[in-house]
Structures are given as C-alpha cells and as structure tokens.
Amino acid sequence: MAEDSPKFIIPESFQVSSDDIGAQIGLIWELIKAPLIVPLLKLGVYICLTMSLMLFMERLYMGIVIILVKLFWKKPEKRYKWEPLQDDLESGNSNFPVVLVQIPMFNEREVYKLSIGAASNLSWPADRLVIQVLDDSTDPEIKQMVELECQRWASKGVDITYQIRENRGGYKAGALKEGLKRSYVKHCEYVAIFDADFQPEPDYLRRAIPFLVHNSDIALVQARWRFVNADECLLTRMQEMSLDYHFTVEQEVGSSTHAFFGFNGTAGVWRIAAINGAGGWKDRTTVEDMDLAVRCSLKGWKFLYLGDLQVKSELPSTFKAFRFQQHRWSCGPANLFRKMLMEIVKNKKVKFWKKVYVIYSFFFVRKIIAHMVTFWFYCVVLPLTILVPEVEVPIWGAVYIPSIITILNSVGTPRSIHLLFYWILFENVMSLHRTKATFIGLLEAGRANEWVVTEKLGNKLQKNADASKNKTNVKMFKRPRLKFIDRLNTLELGFAAFLFLCGCYDFVHGKNNYFVYLFLQTITFFITGIGYVGTIIPSS
C-alpha cells in the first residue's frame, strides 16, 4: 500500500483554474503577503526611519554648529597664529620656505595650460618655488604638448619639471608618491597639490603657507573650490548645490570643531613631514586623499579649512563623467571605512570624541547612511508600501523629516533655491548609483578600485564664455553627439518603470497622494535614463 504524501490545503476561496495565470499569481501573492511581505516591509520601514533620524540629527547638529561658527567663532587668522611672510633685504628670500607644487595629469588636452600657467604665476619667490608636472598621459601627442608647455615656462625662469613614469601604478597616489621621491624635493617643506583643471590665484601660497609656518601642529590647509562652469547646464547647477553644502557646512564644521575633515585631493597645501610621518601616499582605495587625511589625523595632526581662499575648478558637464566620478567618491570612502575602522578604534593618540566624530559622523552617517536612506526609503520602500497598504509610513518620516533635511542642505547655494525641488529628485536618482558603489566598497567587490579620470573641457568652456560675452562670430564648441542607444541607462529606465507603476496604482487605489511625487520622480529617472540631463540649461 502506497504511503499518502502530505498535501498543502488551499482554502476554497483561493482555488482558481489552472488556466488563469493572473489569478494564480494573485493567489501566490495573497499567500505570501501576510506571513512574509508585510513583516519584511515593516522591518524595512523601521530601518529607513531610523536612518532618516540619524541623518536628520547629523544635519541639525551641523546646522547649529555652522550658525555658532558664523556668529561667535573667531576667524582662522584669530584662532591660529598668522603673520604674512615679509621680504628681508638682508636675508633675501630665506624667510620664505621652499614650496613644491604638484600637478598630476592624465591626458588633459583641454586644461593642461590652465593649471601650469596658474601655478607658474603664483606670487612666491622664484628660487623658493618648485613646480612638478606629474604626467601619466598615454597619448604621445598630449605628452609632447605638456612637455613643451613646461619648457616654455622654464625658459621664463620658472623652476618647473616635467615628470613621467613607466606605468600608472597607483594612479594619482602613485604619481604623487613618486614625485616626492625625487632628489630635488628633499629641501622642500610644503607641497601644494592642484588637479589639472584647478587654477589658484597668485596670492594663494601667501595666504595659506603662513598658517603652516607659524603653527607646527597643522598638517594641511585646504581651500574651497569655485566652479567656473556652474551655469553651463542643469547638471552642473545640481553639482554646485551638493558641493557648496560640503564646503560651506561639512568642511567648516569639521575644521572648527575637531580640526579634521577629509582632504579634497586638490587645492590644499600639505606639510611634507606630516605626509611622510603618516606613511606617505597609499593606493589601497580610490580616495587616496581621504586615506592620507585620516592617517595624519590619527597621528595627532590638525587640519585647517579656509572658506574665503578659493580656487577655480571645473565640474563634470556630461552625465557619464559625473556617474564615474560619483562611483569613485562613494565607493572609495566605504572601502576605506572597511579598512580603517579598527585602526581608528584602537588609536591612542586621538581623543575619544574625535574618534566618535570620525567613525560615526564623518564615515557612517555621511558616507554610508546618507546614500542608502535616500535610495532605499524614497525609491524602494515608500513606493512598495503603496502596493502593500497594510504597511504605513508615518507622515513625519515620509514628509516632514525629508523636508527639513532638504532645507538644511540648501543653505550652501541660496542662488539656486528655485531649483531645490528638482535637486531633490536628481539626488534621489544619483543615490541609486551611490548606494551601489557604497556596497561595492564595503564588500570590496569587482569595481572597488576602478579609477576613471573625469573628463574636462576647460579651454573650450572658456572660449564659449568669451565668445558669448563679446558676442563675436566665434564658432561655439559643441560636445560630440552620442547615438541615442549609447545614451540609454537601463538601470534608471528600469526604476522609472517601477515608480510609474507604483504611481498609477496609488492614483487609482491610494489615499496619501504619493503619486504626485512618484510621477515627478519617474520623469527624473526617465530623463537621466535617456542621458539628456546634462543638456538642459537652467534658468537663473
């Protein structure tokens, strides 16, 4: 006699014809929704609300501190000893320390003249300034042009050296490290670093170096970036809003309260002894600048940010270039956090509260939570709660907290306040890529060490600006048009379809009117999905 196999009993109300596929899917959904989907979605809501509160408290803390800094804190010149370096008739230029200027490059056809020219025009005694052009270019024509430009300035009496390597090992970190090994660098006390599109004003060193000369505990003086192409298109305006908050608030708060912030990789002056004492440049992540800053901080060095010392630079003006940059900027910090967490915890030279600031505020909230909560909450969990009405998101978590965070984020760029709503939608789209990059960094997956140099258009942008200003008949530069199929970003288009379906469902069955947000977010995902975000010109 055959044994009876166990049978799964389906209630009669759920029984449907085997030919009705839609009904079968509906049946499966009803069977798993209550025991599985609802609890998981509720857990997701709780986690997202917790992350939102963490980000809210962080933004509120920085908002309060920045107000106190602006109202009551002393200026850097008052907090630290600062006196201008003076020429001495008897001792000549010996009062001025020897400064090395490093300009790392990689196939910078459009901007190499700008950075080399700006560095060569720095107002610093010629015999106390050494300029080092670190060219990792792979294009022979560009290498020749850069070398000729260096020779042109050398013929004018500028101490400038054209330096190349046999390979690109370590990328930018490798080039900077190799540059410091040269024999002619041994007598240099400080090193100023400028990426190929950065153009310091002539008085840059005279304003920054005295802080290092008169304060032996300062390792780094960081200047603010000023963007020459911020008004080029909507993409650059969105970037300006994000970066202005970083400089106006995050950098200022870190410098004023803990004398620590992440080095931005350029437009800063380092004490070479601090670099060497911390172990030099390392290429273990794609954020070699942040890596060095954290290691120097753990050695007890202080950092100073000067918000009124600004250096001209260029923002990525194509969506493809911006995506690559954001991958590096999101993946690198997460990977560095993974590698340095225990080193920070075990360090005995740094005070407890500074450790808390670096681990919790600097890394965990800003570099991990900030990316993940934006994507998971507003692009995944919130739309899913529309399909599962048994799960609700409190109004304070869905509307009030995000609104306050957004307002706090907008203080850096008041001139773009009218673009604030679109900036929110755009940041939600970019949080998709930042979250993906963050996971890659934390797990040290395949693209964790991917380095793609950001495309720059410097000379062409300047010609466009000059032609527009003078209203001449100069032919305006146009970016090469990509084929439509090459513009498509399938990930964004996929989320556009998902949010559109959720919006339609909410329009028909919902009660919270989330469809207004979902349809607007769908449009933003769609625009980025077809690759046209960088072509829209914003109104002033």
CA 117 from chain center: how many Å?
A: 27
Task: Inform me whether the pLDDT recorded for 107 exceeds 50.
Answer: yes
Distance CA 138, CA 230 (A): 29
In this predicted structure, what is the pLDDT of residue 470?
47
Q: Name the residue with higher pLDDT: 451 or 230.
A: 230
Instruction: Write the pLDDT tens digit of every residue in 359-407.
Output: 999 999 999 999 999 999 999 999 999 989 899 999 999 889 998 888 8
Q: Give the model's pLDDT for residue 4.
A: 53
Which DSSP symbol is given to 514?
A: T
Compute the average pLDDT of residues 86-99: 80
For residue 29, is pLDDT > 50?
A: yes
pLDDT at 318: 85
User: How many residues are recorded in the chain?
Assistant: 540
Is residue 307 within 8 Å of residue 261, measured between CB atoms? Answer: no
3-state DSSP assignment of residue 33: helix
Per-residue pLDDT tens digits for 188-222: 999 999 999 999 999 999 999 999 999 999 999 99
- pLDDT tens, 275-328? 999 999 999 998 999 999 999 999 999 999 999 999 999 999 888 889 889 999
Judge whether residue 535 has pLDDT over 90: no
Active site residue 136: yes
User: Could you tell me the CA-to-CA distances from 157 to 21, 38, 130, 152, 330 in Å, in that order?
Assistant: 81, 73, 11, 9, 42
pLDDT reading at 532 higher than 80 = no
| Segments in 97-197 forming alpha helices (H) | 112-120, 140-154, 171-180
**Helices 490-509, 420-443: inter-axial angle, 10-degree rounding:** 120
Distance between CA atoms of 93 and 75, rounded to whole angstroms? Answer: 28
pLDDT of residue 489: 82
Report the pLDDT value the prediction gives residue 511, as an integer from 0 to 100.
79
Pick 356 or 489 by higher pLDDT.
356
The residue among 305, 254, 297 whose CA lies nearest residue 274 is: 297
Cα–Cα distance measured from residue 369 to residue 21, given in angstroms and rounded to the nearest whole number: 41
Specify the pLDDT at position 474.
Answer: 39
Q: Using alpha carbons, select from 429, 421, 322, 438 the residue that is nearest to residue 369.
A: 438
Banded pLDDT at 509 (limits 50, 70, 90): confident
Cα–Cα distances in angstroms (integers) from residue 327 to residues 287, 294, 426, 439, 447, in the given order: 11, 20, 16, 11, 9
Q: Are 378 and 502 in contact (CB under 8 A)?
A: no
Q: Average of pLDDT values for 172-185?
A: 94
Torsion of the alpha carbons at 186, 187, 191 and 197, rounded to the nearest 10: -80
Residue 5 in this model has a pLDDT that exceeds 90: no
pLDDT score of 40: 94
295: CB partners within 8 A, 6+ apart: 278, 279
**Is pLDDT at 539 greater than 80 in this prediction?**
no
Question: What pLDDT digit, counting tens, does each position of 246-272 carry?
Answer: 999 999 999 999 889 999 999 999 999
The reported pLDDT for the residue numbered 91 is 64
Q: How many CB atoms neighbour CB 198 within 10 A?
A: 23
* Of 136, 195, 283, 506, catalytic: 136
Q: What are phi and psi of 279, to 5 degrees?
A: 105, 5
pLDDT of residue 94: 81
State the pLDDT at residue 240: 92
**Average pLDDT estimate for 57-74:** 92
Looking at residue 536, what is its pLDDT?
Answer: 60
The average pLDDT across 487-508 equals: 91
Which long-range CB contacts under 8 A does 5-9 form with residues at least 24 apart? none
Q: Which of 135, 159, 195, 289 is catalytic?
A: 289
Q: Identify the band that residue 20 occupies on the pLDDT scale cut at 50, 70 and 90.
A: confident
Q: To the nearest whole percent, how much of the chain has pLDDT over 90?
A: 65
Percent of the chain having pLDDT more than 70?
Answer: 86
Distance CA 185, CA 166 (A): 20
Answer for the pair 367, 438: CB distance below 8 angstroms, yes or no.
yes
**pLDDT at residue 376, as a whole number:** 95
Q: How confident is the model at residue 169 (pLDDT cuts 50, 70, 90)?
A: confident
Say how many CA atoms lie within 13 Å of 10 toward its Cβ: 11
SS3 (DSSP) at 465: helix
pLDDT value of residue 419: 86
pLDDT at 261 (0 to 100) = 92
Residues 324/452, Cβ–Cβ less than 8 Å: yes
In this prediction, residue 418 carries a pLDDT of 84
289 noted as active-site residue: yes
